[in-house]
Chains A and B, each alone.
Chain A
């Protein structure tokens, strides 16, 4: 190590340390403006979660209580840990043809890891991730949910 390198090392070291201290010192001075702590139970009413936050799987229903699920079971196959179970039925169309449709969309929230693979697998965009996260319950069986609302049917035109 030559002498020039030695002093260059000292200078660069001090400079980079000063850069770091400038960052934290700046935070210290304006911490009251840029606080990132969410005071969660207190600010429950105003809490804003990121759009992409994955809390649970929901099935989207429109105002006519219609969804876009065809009962194709692509989500059930995509799920790595058996969270989704779809019970299908056969609808009889007006022309008298039999058509596969969803009867019960069972979702085990207690098994779900929020990996989003089912949402990506869905060909019709029937399910998506909601950003609710207060899932704690006293009875584990209430975590097994039926996602299609009672009386709902497939939206016309979704194949």
Chain B
């Protein structure tokens, strides 16, 4: 059966047999770098296309339909256009910070890729504080956004960046608490342990009501953390032209754009890992036959299927809900999501201690 674990294992063994261990490690670093960049390019092309098709279908439009069959190569043309466009730096910006910001944002998205388990045994770094690592690193991207807003020397950019800061600082809380729900149930921060704990059923189903509440809160907070509609007031087109990336063009803008979509992928991958079992096939308790059939589907398909389902849900949000005002946004977090998630974590602790979950 097709398995990514076997491929990586054989490549690893071959490298260590043929060359010096240090050199082999370097080669592995290079391979991982190339793979991550390839995944970024793939995600940029596919997610932008998916967004445009989903939005058009939800509005009963056709969407892009000129380039390639049913317009599927539209994003390739867009990418070529962005690459050949001049990367302009305006006169009165802080040059260093202005050029550093998009790179910082994209590097942060790249770093969060580390603990994500793409398939069984296919992971860059099985760090033992995986969930903590993700929530810590993902809050770094706000530095890049604030940097872009400040360096642009533009009031719209600065306002957008400040809003984004307020938003991410607030929603980090409930995202962290809803992640913690699963950590309490599993008793481990390690991604592989969390997935292994869901062998008999996903936490969404095993964890009773608290897991469902945590899942809903996590999806809301994830949407807010990635600055997407209905929480996209960092770039609110109607008020701030484009928010923090008003002054950017060409490839530097493309890096922000790419980072947004990669971040969506990352938060959805984390959501899929914590609540929907990551690469774990859909198992139901003791139904041996059913579980066996489900095991035939490759684990990478399971992972990407769940992740893309969550991405679809987040896109569904974007094309349904109107944008929140800044006070409504903070109200939602501090008056509703945070008290509920604190109460929820209390409830889940009781359930975990009493062993009421399946």
Contacts and interface: CB of A to CB of B under 8 A. Distances in A.
Given A20-B320, A21-B320, A28 B54 contact: yes
A24 B58 contact: yes
Interface stretch (A34-42, A53-61, A83-91): A34-42
Given A10-B336, A17-B321, A20-B321, A35 B60 contact: yes
Interface in B57-93: 57-62, 65
A37 B340 CA distance: 43
A23 interface: yes
How many residues of B sit at the interface, in one of the four size bands? Answer: 10 to 19
Nearest to B312: A28
Nearest to A26: B58
Contacts of A9: 336
Contacts of A31: 56-58, 60
Contact of B57 (A10, A20, A28): A28
Contacts of B54: 28
B319 interface: yes
Contacts of B57: 27-28, 31
Contacts of A21: 316-317, 320
A8 to B, nearest CB: 12
Contacts of B62: 35, 37, 39
A24 B319 contact: yes
A82 interface: no
A80 interface: no
A27 B61 CA distance: 10
Contacts of A37: 60-62
A25 interface: yes
Contacts of B60: 27, 31, 34-37
A10 B216 CA distance: 13
Interface in A1-56: 9-10, 17, 20-21, 23-25, 27-28, 31, 34-37, 39
A35 B61 CA distance: 6
A112 to B, nearest CB: 30
B310 to A, nearest CB: 14
A34 B60 CA distance: 6
A25 B316 contact: yes
Contacts of B56: 31
A27 B336 contact: no
7 contacts: A9-B336, A21-B317, A23-B320, A27-B59, A34-B60, A35-B61, A39-B65
Please name the 6 residue pairs, one residue from A and one from B, whose CB atoms are nearest each other, closest first.
A31-B57, A37-B62, A24-B320, A24-B58, A20-B320, A36-B60
Interface of B: 54, 56-62, 65, 316-317, 319-321, 336, 340
Given A27-B58, A28-B316, A39-B62, 16 more contacts: A10-B336, A17-B320, A20-B321, A21-B317, A21-B320, A23-B320, A24-B319, A25-B316, A27-B57, A27-B60, A28-B58, A31-B58, A35-B62, A36-B60, A37-B60, A37-B62
